[in-house]
Structure 1
C-alpha cells in the first residue's frame, strides 16, 4: 500500500511517499480503509528536528476491513473515525477502544477532522475546564483547528467566547459562527479589552494555543477560580513566569492536555466520555467540524505547507 512517512524539520516537514506492506490488526485493533485523514500541528511541531521518518497521520476516518482478536461491537464495513497510527496511508490501524462510529450527518472529510481535535477540546472545556453556560472562554490563536473546535463546542455549551488572531479576515469568518468578541492581535496586549468585555471580572477559562509567550498575559485575565489550559506552543516558547500570588489569591487552576504519557486505557476512558457527552451534538447537527481545505492524497506536501503557512481557519484534510 502507499503511505507517507514524515519528520519535522527546522524550516519545513520532510515528507516521503513509500510503498509498504499492509498492516495486520493485532488483538484489540481494527484495520480501516482510509477515506480521509486530517493534519494536526502537534505532529508537525512535535519531536526532534531531523529525527528519523515515521508513518504520518494521527487521526483518520474510513471503513473497517478487518478486526483483530477480542474486538466486539465493530464489524467489517462499519464507518469509523479515531486516533490511528499512520493515517496518511491507504490502510491504517486503530485501537478499537479509541475508535468511534461516524455520525450519519458527517462526510468522510468532516469525520477525519473530528476525533483528536474535538476530544482534546472536550478534555479542556468539559473534563478539566468545567465550562458552563454563561461563562467566558478566551482562546489565543482561535483560527487553528483546536481554536475553532473550542469556539464551536463552547457555543453549544452556552458559553461566551473571546478570541485572538492577527488576521481580521479570519476573525470575521469566526464571528459568523458565534465568536462574541474578536481581538486582532498576535501579542499579549489583550488585558484591557478582555476586562471591558467581561465587565472587569475576567474570563473563566483560557485555551492557550500559542505557548509560553502568552502564558503570563493569560493568567492575568483569569477570573476568580479561573482555569488555564495549555495545548500548544506555536511560538516555540516552552517556559514562562508564573504569578504565584495571583494563582493563590484567585484560586486558579493551570493544566495541560497532552496524551503522550497517558496509557491507552486512560485515553479510551476519555473517548468514552466524549462519546457520551459530546458526540450526540454531532449526531443531531449542532456540531460540525469546520474544514478549511481538502487536498488530494498526492498533495500531502502541499497540505503540510499550507498548515505551516498558518493560513487556515479550522481543519485541513487529505482525502485518500
Structure 2
C-alpha cells in the first residue's frame, strides 16, 4: 500500500510517497480503508511543535473511511461501516485507528466532510464547551477565523447561540463566513482590533477568545476580554511564541488563560473527551446545524500541491486529501 512520509531536516520538510505493507489492527484497534484524510497546519510546521526533532515519519492526523477489520477486544464495529477519527499515519491507503477515537459517520456527510471533523471540531469542542463554557448570548472573538479551527469555532459557537467576532486578513473570506453566521468581521492581521471589539460588545468585551494566530495578538486579546473572560491558545502561525501578560488585568478581571494541544496528551487523555464530543456536538452535525466547510479536496497523489495550497493561505476551512476510491 502507499503511505505519505515527511523527512524533516532543519527547516526542510520533504514529502515522500512510499510503498509498504498493509498495517494490521492490534488489540483495541480498527483497520480502516481510508477514503479521505484532513490536512492540519501544525503537521507541516518545522523547527518546533510536532516536528522539533529531525527524521522521517509517516504523517496524517485524521481520516474517514470503511472498517476493514477489528483487532482483539473490539466490539460494536463491523466491516463496511463508515468511520472517522483521529489516527496516526492517516495519509495512506489503510490506517489503524484506536477504537476509542472512532466515531460513526453521519449519513448526510461525504467522505471529505467526515475527514474534516475529527481534529478541528474536537479542538473547538475542547476550547468552547469543555473549557470555555460558552453559553447562548456570549460574545466570542476568533482570531484567524478563516483557518480550520477558526471556522469550526465559529460554527460551534453559533450552534450554541453565541455571537462571534472574527479577524482575518482576507476580506473575501470574511464575506463568505458571514454565510456561516459571523456577526462581526474585522479585516486585519494586526493587533489593532480592541476598539472595534469593544464597540461591538457595548464596552463589555468578549467572554471568550480563540487564538489561532500566536503571540503577536495575545496582549490585544487580553485587552478585549470581559470580566471572568477566558482565552484559549490554539496555535502560533505567526511564529511568535512569547508575549507579555497584563498581570493586573488577569487579577482584576478574574481572567482564565489556557492552552489546547494534543501533542502532550496521552492516548487515554485524548480518548476521554470523545464520548462527550459525540454526545454534545455530533447531534448538531447529524441534523445539519453544523456542516464542515471543505475548501478543496486534492487527489491522494497530490499532497505536495495540497500543502502548498495551505502554505499560501488560499483556503477557507479544511483542505482534504481524497482517495481515488472514495
Q: TM-score, normalized by length of structure 2?
A: 0.96
Partner of 1:24: 24
Partner of 2:110: 107
Residue segments in structure 1 that go unaligned for 5+ positions in a row: none
Partner of 1:184: 187
1:47 aligns with one of 26, 50, 72? 50
Give the match's secondary structure for 1:53.
strand
Partner of 1:172: 175
Give the superposition deviation at 1:8. Answer: 5.3
1:240 aligns with one of 234, 239, 243? 243
Tell me the distance in 1 between the aligned counterparts of 2:208 and 2:232. 8
Tell me the distance in 1 between the aligned counterparts of 2:54 and 2:63. 23
Tell me the distance in 2 between the aligned counterparts of 1:35 and 1:163. 32
Give the superposition deviation at 1:47. Answer: 3.2
Tell me the distance in 2 between the aligned counterparts of 1:122 and 1:160. 16
Q: Is the 8 A contact 2:138 2:163 kept in 1?
A: yes
1:318 and 2:316 are equivalent in the alignment: no
Partner of 1:194: 197
Q: Is the 8 A contact 2:10 2:54 kept in 1?
A: no
Tell me the distance in 2 between the aligned counterparts of 1:67 and 1:162. 44
Listed as ranges, the matches of 1:243-282 within 5 Å are 243-282=246-285
Give the superposition deviation at 1:74. Answer: 1.1
1:212 and 2:219 are equivalent in the alignment: no
Cα deviation per residue 1:34-80 (whole Å; 9 max; x = unaligned)? Answer: 00001001211233467212111100000010111011111111110
1:57 aligns with one of 55, 60, 70? 60
Give the match's secondary structure for 2:284.
helix
Cα deviation per residue 1:138-168 (whole Å; 9 max; x = unaligned)? Answer: 0111100000010111111010000001111
Give the match's secondary structure for 2:75.
coil
Partner of 1:73: 76
Q: After the TM superposition, which of the residue ranges 87-96 and 6-15 deviates more from structure 2?
A: 6-15
1:301 and 2:304 are equivalent in the alignment: yes
Tell me the distance in 1 between the aligned counterparts of 2:21 and 2:286. 36
Q: Is the 8 A contact 1:7 1:50 kept in 2?
A: no
Partner of 2:134: 131
Partner of 2:14: 14
Give the superposition deviation at 1:12. Answer: 6.3
Tell me the distance in 2 between the aligned counterparts of 1:8 and 1:311. 24
Tell me the distance in 1 between the aligned counterparts of 2:9 and 2:307. 12
Cα deviation per residue 1:285-314 (whole Å; 9 max; x = unaligned)? Answer: 111100001100111100011001111100
Residue segments in structure 2 that go unaligned for 5+ positions in a row: none
